[in-house]
Amino acid sequence: MIQIKPEEIQCLADYIYHLSGISIDASKAYLLETRLNRLLEEEGCRSFSEFHQKATSPAGKMLEKKIINAMTTNETLFFRDAGPFELLRHKIIPDLVDARSGRMTDMRSPKLKIWSNACSTGQEVYSIAIVIKELLGNNCNVSLMGSDLSDAAVAQASAGVYNRFEIERGLPKEKRYRYFTSTNGNWKIKDDIRAMASFRKINLMKSFAGLGRFDIVFCRNVAIYFTLQDRKKLFNKLASVLEPDGYLLIGATESLTGISPHFTPKRHLRSIYYQLK
């Protein structure tokens, strides 16, 4: 493994921050080594300085995408942390359906829009879709959007195909056979669940103009990689795309205390969620 030199850390960290908003200080230099060494070998680079020069050259656009894919590959699994999905099932979806149903003039289920950002390879999105399908059945009228900065992650999420290791992480066998189809040693999400979701590449540091408003926003375990200032900007922007009575769900170890004045925390059973003040 090629080791990164102290004088190379800041230069590469600034470059990664420019690409993705991910903040890496000297104490996390190991992330650069562990996530980028394979790319250094593929590109025939003998140092991180040489790698940086190649990435920032006019011909480095494709390498830039590979770097983003490598640096944004985060831990993910189906139904990660039970709390948010129990909230969906027992609190959020029933409350939103009740609130929206009062505005309806026909018997259709009210339209709900949900955004799962930094969704990686889509396990969170499909977990949400399964909960909603089990709650509302064929009457569900939900638009789910998953987004990520990684082209590779968005492509896999869109395909909805997972290998044996991925499918067994967090997904009970009963749900696997009900909502996925075995194909060539992998597992593919069934069409009725896949049809509930769309996926796109979004940089959370950029403008959210044109996204519209959402009833539920998932933003779990991504802001921890940002600076405090960027976290404040992110959650202020999320406040601008959330419906007045909408719900924001963040990571179990995260808090918006001192981050955003727009949200107030609320508790249901053992879980915390946020709503606009």
Inter-helix orientation angle 123-136/93-101, to 10°: 60
Pick the CATH number of 82-276 from 1.10.1200.10, 3.40.50.300, 3.40.50.150, 2.40.10.120: 3.40.50.150
Q: What is the per-residue DSSP string for 218-271? A: EE-SSGGGS-HHHHHHHHHHHHHTEEEEEEEEE-TT---TTT-TTEEEEEETTE
Q: Where in the chain is the domain with CATH 1.10.155?
A: 6-71
Tell me the mean pLDDT in the region 30-59. 94
Question: pTM of this prediction?
Answer: 0.92
How is 152-221 classified by DSSP, letter by letter?
Answer: HHHHHHHHTEE-HHHHHSS--HHHHHHHEEEETTEEEE-HHHHTTEEEEE--TTS--TT---EEEEEE-S
pLDDT tens-digit series, residues 86-144: 999 999 999 999 998 876 555 566 889 999 999 999 999 999 999 999 999 888 899 99
Classified as helix, coil or strand, 39 is helix
Question: What CATH class does 6-71 carry?
Answer: mainly alpha
16 Cβ neighbours under 8 A, 6+ residues apart: 22, 24, 32, 67, 71
pLDDT for the residue numbered 156: 96
User: Above 90 in pLDDT, residue 52?
Assistant: yes
- In the chain, residues under CATH classification 3.40.50.150 are 82-276
Residue-wise pLDDT for 179-237, tens only, equals 999 999 999 999 999 999 999 999 999 999 999 999 999 999 999 999 999 999 999 99
Contact 249, 87 (CB under 8 A): yes
| pLDDT over 90 at 145, yes or no | yes
Q: What is the pLDDT of residue 106?
A: 54
The answer to whether 120 and 74 are in contact (CB under 8 A) is yes
Round the average pLDDT of the chain to a whole number and report it.
93
Confidence of residue 160 (pLDDT cuts 50, 70, 90): very high
More confident of the two residues 257 and 105: 257
Mean pLDDT calculated for residue range 4-16:
94
Q: What is the pLDDT of residue 107?
A: 55
